[in-house]
Amino acid sequence: MRDPDALIARAGVRGDPDRDQHFLVDDRVLDRLPTYLEEVDADSSHLLEIGGGTGALTDRLLALAGENGEVTVVERDRDLAAFLREEFADAIDAGRLTVIEGDALEVDLPDFTASISNLPYGVSSEISFRLLPEGKPLVLMFQQEFAERMVAEPGTSEYGRLSVSTQHYADAELVETIPKEAFSPPPAVESAVVRLRPRDPEYEVANEEFFLRFVKALFTQRRKTIRNAIRNTAHISGLAEPEAVVDAADEEILRKRADAMAPAEFAALAELALEESGLEE
């Protein structure tokens, strides 16, 4: 495997915290990341990496994909994208690697089978919710606080809109905490790796867009009861008749607060809200 410090030296770059660039340089962490996909027998025939940097993880993903597999890397930095094309020219020529220069929120993504990525932390949420609806296994690195919120259970202080939205798409598991020293330059906070295994939720929602918006609305009033949160957030949820929803909902639910509501309870309440109130035009 290529040495991460040597890659940085060959690229002639330094990580720039102002541009959300923190290169993962700990060989042990880099070697462990692919194993989190292997443990769940994920299809590694076409791996997607968001934020290739200088290619230390890219190198390991090529090994995981194997001689007949493929890796696609999305890198927004023009100089780093050019370096990746030079450093991995043999893999590109063999059709095993594609480097896409651009913003991961804007470029067309390939039909990948799984993703392992050290995401730019400033856009972690946006990228995650572009990947999660694809229904593919993901191993993603985040700021530790963000990761803990993704995997949080109802009734905990970390539980919130991010927890419900993430767990709507996948089983989320925090598999490793990464110290600051594993990066160059070290970020201000520790990081964590989350493994996301896609599955259908245990509930059904007729309108996924409304369900996610409804969850967002109620969590803006997380210290209020659900009764008051429904009334106070119609401008966010789009409910035309919030009082009709309150009248129809179960009293036990109305007395709860958002951080005590399981995802299935949010789903049932969202379905009731659609039936009783409808959406604003």
Reduced to 3 states, what is the DSSP secondary structure of residue 75? strand
Q: How long a stretch of residues is the chain?
A: 281
Give the pLDDT score at 277: 76
Q: How far is CA 222 from CA 227, 231, 272, in A?
A: 11, 13, 20
More confident residue, 96 or 120: 96
Q: Could you tell me which residues are annotated as the binding site?
A: 22, 24, 51, 75, 103, 118
Interatomic CA distance for residues 51 and 103, integer angstroms? 9
Q: How far is CA 15 from CA 32, 151, 155, in A?
A: 22, 29, 38
Q: What is the pLDDT of residues 14-30, one digit of tens each?
A: 888 878 789 999 999 99
Please list the residues that pair with 71 across neighbouring strands: 47, 97
Residue 279 has pLDDT above 80, yes or no: no
pLDDT above 90: percentage of residues in the chain: 94
Residue 281 has pLDDT above 60, yes or no: no
Give the pLDDT score at 16: 82
Give the pLDDT score at 15: 83
Count of alpha carbons within 13 angstroms of residue 186, beta-carbon side: 8
Residue 145 has pLDDT above 80, yes or no: yes
More confident residue, 280 or 9: 9
Domains of the chain from N-terminus onward? 4-198 (3.40.50.150), 208-276 (1.10.8)
Q: What is the pLDDT of residues 157-166, one digit of tens each?
A: 999 999 999 9
Q: Could you tell me which residues are annotated as the binding site for S-adenosyl-L-methionine?
A: 22, 24, 51, 75, 103, 118
Assess whether the previous peptide bond of 120 is cis (omega < 30° from 0). Answer: no
Residue 241 has pLDDT above 70, yes or no: yes
Q: If you average pLDDT over every residue of the chain, what do you get?
A: 96
Q: Is the pTM of this model over 0.75?
A: yes
Is residue 105 very low, low, confident or very high in pLDDT (cuts 50, 70, 90)?
very high
Give the pLDDT score at 278: 60
Do residues 53 and 75 make contact, with C-beta atoms less than 8 angstroms apart?
Answer: yes
Do residues 96 and 73 make contact, with C-beta atoms less than 8 angstroms apart?
Answer: no
Element (H, E) at 139: strand 138-143
